[in-house]
A = this chain, B = another copy of it.
Amino acid sequence: MSNPITIEDIAAALGVSKTTVSRAISGKGRIGEATRTRVLEYIEKNNYRPNVVAKGLAQRRTYNIAVVWPGDYIIEDLPFFQKCLVGMSEVTSGYGYDIIVSVVAGDDISSLKRIIENRKVDGVILTRTLVDDKPADYLLESGVPFVAIGDSLNEQIITVDNDIFDACRELTSIIIGKGHTKLALIGGSSNHMVTRNRYGGFVAAFEKAGKKVDESLIFLDQGNEQKLIEIVKHLVAEKVDGVICMDDKLAGHVIGICRYSNIKIPRDIKLASFCNSNTLENAAVSVTSLNFDDRNLGAVATRMLMELIDGESVKSRKLKNYEVIMKESTK
């Protein structure tokens, strides 16, 4: 049925060459003001749309970027990715780009590989960074422009991140400042770069206060709820002042355990989370936590990638804004 009109149709209708039409559209190359408006008017009237695929073939561009999306269902992580995505989408559409999602679960980067090998995208955004980062390594090797959200140990990788370190240090400092100095820290995968930074911020707050971190109160790579139960009981027995969880998943578990064990927050123990996901809104206590502007993070990452694709040189960035949200759990 209704085949879309092409640049050639326009050329024929207007008695000019394809080249001229192309120039009128792209704005590149010299062209008479008269013919230019004539073409543009015709385009407007017949609502012509350039074929982006054909354009891409000629320019060796796809006008797509890939966004690596987590394939797991950890609910506390979703709001972050969602907010990032919205920010990304706002930027891409301004550039005439679209977003292809590459769902990556665990170490299986076959989806990403396919997309890259098929040359479906001009660049990639990694939405989290790992210590042993398979996707990043692959992308570096393949030479595709990419930006990673999160910190990296590899200087070659262009990254953008919230200032996790500072934020975590500040939150910890505030709690220390309230006189709660015997603090435990519970964190997730130590293969996530963010875990390192959170840990670093925690330690830095102690240093700043001239105190020493009690290493026996640091628990990383936690996720298993059974082990958490023991840990929480242990902490209460040890009479720690408070516990800081690196994310809301852990904080949620701790709340659940406390409720079940009849431990009262904040009476018996204080609680804070290094990452607010809004998943704890219906929890038994409202939780002190950190808030970041993830939508902006996604937007900035995308702008950086766009510049990278355009051949500009781009430097890693750290976004400075965060909020410390004080709630009942540390009262």
A residues neighboring B (CB under 8 Å):
1, 4, 49-54, 56-57, 62-64, 67, 69, 71, 73, 75, 78-79, 82-83, 85-86, 89, 93, 96, 98-103, 105, 110-111, 114-115, 117-120, 143, 252-253, 255-256, 259, 277-284
Contacts and interface: CB of A to CB of B under 8 A. Distances in A.
A71 B49 contact: no
Q: Could you tell me the dominant secondary structure of chain A's interface residues?
A: mixed
Contacts of A75: 75, 78-79, 277-279
B71 A98 contact: no
Across the A-B interface, the 3 shortest Cβ-Cβ residue pairs: A252-B282, A89-B103, A78-B78
A49 B83 contact: no
A81 to B, nearest CB: 9
A53 B119 contact: yes
Contacts of A111: 89, 93
A115 B89 CA distance: 12
Given A73-B82, A82-B78, A278-B75, A101 B99 contact: yes
Nearest to A281: B252
Given A93-B111, A101-B101, A256 B281 contact: yes
Contact of A89 (B56, B57, B71): B71
Contacts of A119: 4, 49, 51-53
16 contacts: A49-B117, A53-B57, A53-B62, A53-B120, A57-B57, A63-B120, A67-B101, A73-B86, A73-B278, A78-B78, A86-B103, A98-B115, A98-B120, A99-B101, A256-B282, A280-B282
A93 B114 contact: yes
A256 to B, nearest CB: 5
A330 to B, nearest CB: 17
A311 to B, nearest CB: 14
Contacts of A71: 86, 89
A119 B4 CA distance: 10
Given A78-B82, A119-B52, A64 B279 contact: no
B98 A100 contact: yes
Contacts of A52: 118-120
Contact of A282 (B79, B83, B117, B255): B255
A64 B282 contact: no
Contacts of A114: 93, 98
Nearest to A88: B103
Nearest to A58: B57
A100 B100 contact: yes
A252 B282 CA distance: 6
Contacts of A86: 71, 73, 103, 105
B83 A73 contact: yes
Contacts of A280: 282
A72 B134 CA distance: 31
